[in-house]
């Protein structure tokens, strides 16, 4: 009986260490200075639905679209404002540069999916999540959250569409 309790304690200690590693994925210069993305509040005047605008590997047909398997597709579209789309290891958008409209898809997500997306995007360590205005292909305008990268530049995509080339 005593050895059974010891093995349980060792297993739980291992889980605590593993969970600590998972929750503290943010290393480097940004680890203390940034707000936690999952605590982003919906303020007055902002939409009550959690809509996310995705522009790269999270789009349908791309390698990480499975993160949106529980989400409801709302349509294809583009950002109302211009930003810069870069491609490094994966595509990312820089907010401070005005180059082109970013082409992507909008999904309505639940809080669990949003947390998974934050984890995938390493938010807030490498990306921040902010509200943007999006124009769907059918002309409808809506607000959606979009991930922006910290300033790190690789290859610029002038068209703003990751899937176009």
Q: pLDDT tens across 108-126, in order? A: 999 999 999 998 888 877 8
Cβ pair 100, 159 in contact under 8 A = yes
- Active site amino acids: 121
Pairing of strands 141-149, 127-136: antiparallel
Cβ pair 102, 54 in contact under 8 A = no
pLDDT of the residue at 100:
95
Query: In whole angstroms, what is the distance from residue 164 CA to residue 8 CA?
Result: 53
Query: In whole angstroms, what is the distance from residue 121 CA to residue 60 CA?
Result: 17
* 49-77 residue pLDDT tens: 799 999 988 888 878 888 898 899 999 99
H or E stretch at 73: strand 72-87
Whole-prediction pTM: 0.67
Judged on CB neighbours under 10 Å (0-12, 13-18, 19+), 64 is middle
CB atoms within 10 A of CB 150: 16
Name the fold adopted by 30-164.
Hypothetical upf0131 protein ytfp (3.10.490)
Query: In whole angstroms, what is the distance from residue 84 CA to residue 95 CA?
Result: 7
The alpha-carbon radius of gyration of the chain (Å, integer) is: 19
* 92-105 residue pLDDT tens: 899 988 999 999 99
103 phi, psi to nearest 5 deg: -95, 135
Highest mean pLDDT among 8-12, 39-43, 108-112: 108-112
Dig out the tokens for 114 from the structure: 């949003």
Cα→Cα distances 147→60, 111, 120, 126, 138, Å: 17, 16, 11, 10, 23
What's the whole-number mean pLDDT along residues 140-149? 93
Segments making up each domain of the chain, as ranges: 30-164
């Amino acid at each position: 009986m005593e050895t059974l309790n010891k093995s349980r304690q060792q297993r739980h200690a291992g889980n605590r260490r593993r969970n600590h590693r998972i929750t503290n994925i943010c290393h480097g210069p940004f680890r203390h200075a940034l707000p936690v993305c999952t605590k982003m509040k919906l303020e007055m005047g902002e939409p009550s639905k959690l809509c996310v605008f995705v522009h790269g590997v999270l789009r349908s047909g791309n390698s990480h679209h499975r993160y949106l398997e529980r989400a409801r597709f709302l349509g294809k579209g583009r950002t109302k404002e211009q930003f810069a789309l870069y491609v490094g290891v994966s595509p990312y958008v820089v907010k401070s540069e005005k180059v082109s409209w970013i082409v992507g898809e909008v999904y309505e997500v639940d809080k669990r999916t949003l947390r998974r997306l934050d984890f995938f995007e390493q938010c807030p360590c490498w990306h921040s999540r902010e509200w943007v205005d999006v124009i769907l292909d059918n002309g409808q305008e809506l607000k959606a959250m979009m991930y922006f990268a910290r300033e790190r530049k690789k290859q610029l995509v002038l068209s703003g569409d990751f899937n176009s080339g």
